[in-house]
Amino acid sequence: MKQSVLVLLSRSVDYAGMFPPAALPLHEAAARYAAMLAGPERFLLGRFVCPAARLEEVDLLRSPAGSPPVILAVLGAPGDSVETLRQQAAADGQRLSSLGAGATLAADQYEVALPPAVLGGGPAAVAAAAQAVTEALAAPRRTLVALEVPVAGAPPELVADAIAGMAQANRRSPLTPVCLKVRCGGATAAAVPTAAELAAALAAARDHGVLIKATQGLHHPLRHRDVELGCSLHGFLNLFAAVVLARTHRLDADGIAEVLEDEDADAFTFTDSGFAWRHHPASLEALAAGRRFGLTSFGSCSVDEPMADLRSLGLLD
């Protein structure tokens, strides 16, 4: 495997096997994740995604004594107000604190959707909601709180204001950072953000120094046409490349959209010393910075599909 593939995609897939279209029972998803931790999928495998209300059921994932803890991404239920989010985060914080027993499970991400009323209030409202969630959660230092904002069909200024509010919150409380959670797919064509919509969000996040967590619809590396939905779906390789190159070359939203829209595998070049998309190179250091400060990971109910596609592209040994 080329070093650039390893740096760009290592631990990039947070396994969400409990969610559609896989929709496995928790015990089956947990067993599958545990098996992947010992298999070739371990290269791509990140966190196990679990609803906060079901944390007490994930004992199957507890690692043996003396082993590193299994890392979770915990999902909070959506609320319709800041007060609801605050109360829920406080309860979920108690659940998270119970994971410390034996240090065999740990959560470093907490994800929750922002209510429409908050999003309509501009950056100040988003910053206040973010602070309410992080304070009530009382999670260990550096736990990332991913706040979901709709991108598909949303007014661009709403998304930009939300990201600006997250940046404000991070300046106030840098020890419990918040980031943008963006949904890249869905059950209908209307739920899939266009390349222009997604590119605008990536550019705004880059400009404000806000990290991104992606989810849904990213089973394949490259952008492709989905006949059933009647629209093009995003590729996770396009997404990671776009985030890295947006940072490295200061691409504007139109330039970022070009990376997102490219369906040509030959346009993406990986070597042991770096990566390039067409005429835009990125060093290993730039790839690492893109993962650390740009795009943390993406949630997917499948790891097999990404692995198989990467093999077919000749990117895995």
- Give residue for tokens 């999003």: 119
Burial of 25 (C-beta count, 10 Å sphere; 0-12/13-18/19+): exposed
CA distance 15 to 300: 5
CA distance 119 to 28: 36
SS3 label, residue 252: coil
Q: CA nearest 272: which of 287, 259, 262?
A: 287
Instruction: Check residue 56 and give its pLDDT.
Output: 86
CA distance 141 to 155: 33
**In this structure, which amino acid lies at residue 77?**
A
CA distance 240 to 290: 8
pTM of the entire structure? Answer: 0.95
SS3 label, residue 65: coil
**In this structure, which amino acid lies at residue 199?**
A
Q: CA nearest 26: which of 67, 56, 46?
A: 56
Q: CA nearest 213: which of 180, 235, 188, 244?
A: 180
CA distance 47 to 15: 6
Strand 224-226 relative to strand 231-233, pairing: antiparallel
Question: What does CATH list as the number for 3-310?
Answer: 3.20.20.70
Instruction: Check residue 68 and give its pLDDT.
Output: 73
Taking a C-beta distance cutoff of 8 angstroms, is the pair 146, 109 a contact?
Answer: yes
Of the chain, the end-to-end C-alpha distance in Å amounts to: 5
Q: CA nearest 277: which of 292, 265, 289?
A: 265
Instruction: Check residue 142 and give its pLDDT.
Output: 75
CA distance 146 to 300: 16
Strand partners, 274: 283
Provide the 8-state DSSP code for 75. E
CA distance 119 to 43: 36
SS3 label, residue 254: helix
> Cα separations (Å) of 113 from 17, 61, 99, 293, 299?
20, 26, 23, 21, 15
pLDDT in tens for each of the 317 residues of the chain?
A: 999 999 999 999 999 999 999 999 999 999 999 899 889 889 999 999 999 999 988 877 776 665 677 899 999 998 999 999 999 999 999 998 887 655 578 899 999 999 999 999 999 999 999 999 999 998 776 789 999 999 999 999 999 999 999 999 999 988 889 999 999 999 999 999 999 999 999 999 999 999 999 999 999 999 999 999 999 999 999 999 999 999 999 999 999 999 999 999 999 999 999 999 999 999 999 999 999 999 999 999 999 999 999 999 999 97
Taking a C-beta distance cutoff of 8 angstroms, is the pair 93, 136 a contact?
Answer: yes
CA distance 65 to 72: 18
**Residues composing the chain:** 317
Number of helices followed by number of strands (H, E) in the chain: 11, 13
Instruction: Check residue 139 and give its pLDDT.
Output: 77
Instruction: Check residue 300 and give its pLDDT.
Output: 97
205 phi-psi bin (left φ>0, alpha ψ -120 to 50, beta other): alpha
Q: What sign for the dihedral angle of Cα 237, 76, 166, 142?
A: negative
